[in-house]
Chain A
C-alpha cells in the first residue's frame, strides 16, 4: 500500500497530487509532461517536495509536518529507470547483486536464482552492460531493483526506448512479475496498450494533477475521462475467460458476464482469464438484432448514458448485463436512432478490430 499526498513546485511546473495504491500494478497514466516521472522521483527521494506525506506499507518516507524526509538509500524503493541506468563498470552479475549488499537481512522479494529464471537473464551474468541489447538491459534493471528487496517497485516507462518486438518481450516479463511478487508496483506509461495489459488500477494524471483513480475497467468506461484517455485508442476493457479455440477458423471464443466474444489469433489456452480492450470507435449500435452480417459479435445491452460532447461524434456507455462497453458514434446517428438512457440496443463489434495488442492476461 502506497499513499501519496504531495505538493511540489519545480520551476513553472506545479504538482499537486493525492492518491493511494493497493497491491498489484497501478498505472500512472497521462501525456508526457503530466508529472508522472516527477511522482516517481518524489517517492524515491530523488526530488524534494514542498509539503505533503508519502508512506509505503505504513512506513513514512516523507512527512513535511513531522519533519521526516528519508534519504533515497533508506527508502527501500526499487526504481527501474527509462534508460536502465546499469552501472557500466560492473558485470551483469554485480549489477544484480549491488543492492543486495546494502539490503542485508531484509526479507527477500525474490531469490537470486528465481529472479534470473523469471527474467530470463541467466546467460548474461558475466557480460558487461555495454554489450547488452535494450531489452536485455531493461530486464537486468528490473532484476537489479527487485534483488535490493524493495517494498515498492517503480517502473518509469521501461518500454519507452524499445522497438515493438522488444516491447512485447518486456511486457511478457513484467506480466510474469506482477503474478509472482507481492509488493505493489507503480507503472508509469503513456501507452494505453501497456496499461490495459498490465494494470489492476490506474491513476490518471494531467498537468500535475490527478483527474481520477480506480480500477482500470471502471476508469476506461468513464465517459468524462475519455478526452484524457485518447480519442482514438480509448475504449472499455472487458475481462473474459477463454471458452475455446477453433483451430480451423483461428478464432478464440471468450465468455464474460455480458455474453461471448469471438477474436482472431489469441494465444491463450481454454480456461485462461484475458483482458480485452474494445476501442470505442470499433463498436456500432443497432436497435434490433441484425441478420445477414459479417460482424461476428452482436451483444445485447442497454444504453446507460450519452456523453455531453460538443463535437460531431459522442461516446455512448452501454451496459451488457453488468459489463460496461463504450461506443463512439456520430451525433447524427445517436439522434436518428433516438438513443436515450434505458433503451435496449445491440452492440456490434468486428472480430478483426480486436488485434493482439488489445489483449493481455488478467
Chain B
C-alpha cells in the first residue's frame, strides 16, 4: 500500500518535470521584469505592473483559454513556433509547463522585485567606482544580494506549478502520461466511480511533496540570507 502504482509514478514524475521546467523557463523573464519594475520609470508603468500581475487575479481558465488562442496550432504565436522552430505546446507536457510558468510568473516577479528594492544602491555605485561595468555590477553585486528573493520566488512558483489545474486543463487537456499532472490525475479519479481511495492517495502524495519543497526552500533561503548579510556563515 506504500508503494506507488506505475500510473501514480508517471503522474508524480510528470508533475515534477512540468514544475521544474516552468520554473527554469520563467526565471530569466521574472528577473528581467522585476528589474524593469524596480529600477525603471516610464509612462504606463502602473498598467504594465498590473498586466504582469494579472494571472494572479484572473480565473485560471481565462489564462488557459488565452494560451489556447495564442499558442494553439492556429494561434499566431503557436503557428509561428511550430513552423520555424518545431516547438509545439498544445496537448504536450511543454504546454503544461508554459501554463504553469505564466501562472507562477507574478509570484516570482513579486519576490525578486521586493529584494531588488531592498538592495543598497550605494553598494552598486561602490562596485562601479572599482571598475565594474553595469553588467558586472549586476552579476557580482546585485544578483548575489537578491539571491534569497530569487530562491523564494522559485519556490513559490514551483509550489504554484505543482498545484496548477485550471489553466493546464483548459490549454493542454488531461492526457495521462503527457499532460496529466497530479492535480489533474486527482480530478480524473474523482470523476470515476470507486476512484475515491486513489484520489486520496494522490492527495496525500501532493501534501508530502509540497511540505518537502517548503522545508527545503526554507533551508536554502536562510543560508542565502546569511551570506547576503555578510555574516560569517
Contacts and interface: CB of A to CB of B under 8 A. Distances in A.
Interface in A76-91: 76-79, 81, 83, 85-89
Given A87-B127, A131-B231, 20 more contacts: A44-B129, A46-B125, A46-B128, A81-B122, A81-B126, A83-B122, A86-B230, A87-B123, A87-B230, A88-B230, A98-B130, A99-B130, A103-B131, A127-B232, A129-B230, A130-B229, A130-B231, A131-B230, A145-B130, A148-B131
Contacts of A129: 230
Interface string B110-141: 00000000001011011111111110110011
A71 interface: yes
B229 A79 contact: no
Interface hub of B127, B130, B132, B228 (most chain A Cβ within 10 A): B130
Interface of B: 120, 122-123, 125-134, 136-137, 140-141, 144-145, 227-232
B127 A75 contact: no
Given A85-B122, A87-B123, A88-B145, A73 B128 contact: yes
Contacts of B127: 87, 98
A72 B228 contact: no
27 contacts: A46-B125, A72-B129, A73-B131, A73-B136, A75-B129, A76-B131, A79-B126, A79-B129, A83-B122, A85-B123, A85-B125, A85-B126, A87-B123, A87-B126, A88-B228, A89-B227, A98-B130, A98-B140, A99-B130, A102-B130, A127-B232, A129-B230, A130-B232, A131-B232, A145-B130, A148-B129, A148-B131
Interface in A29-80: 44-46, 71-79
Contacts of B232: 127-128, 130-131
Interface of A: 44-46, 71-79, 81, 83, 85-89, 98-99, 101-103, 127-131, 144-145, 148
B145 A89 contact: yes
A144 B130 contact: yes
A328 B141 CA distance: 53
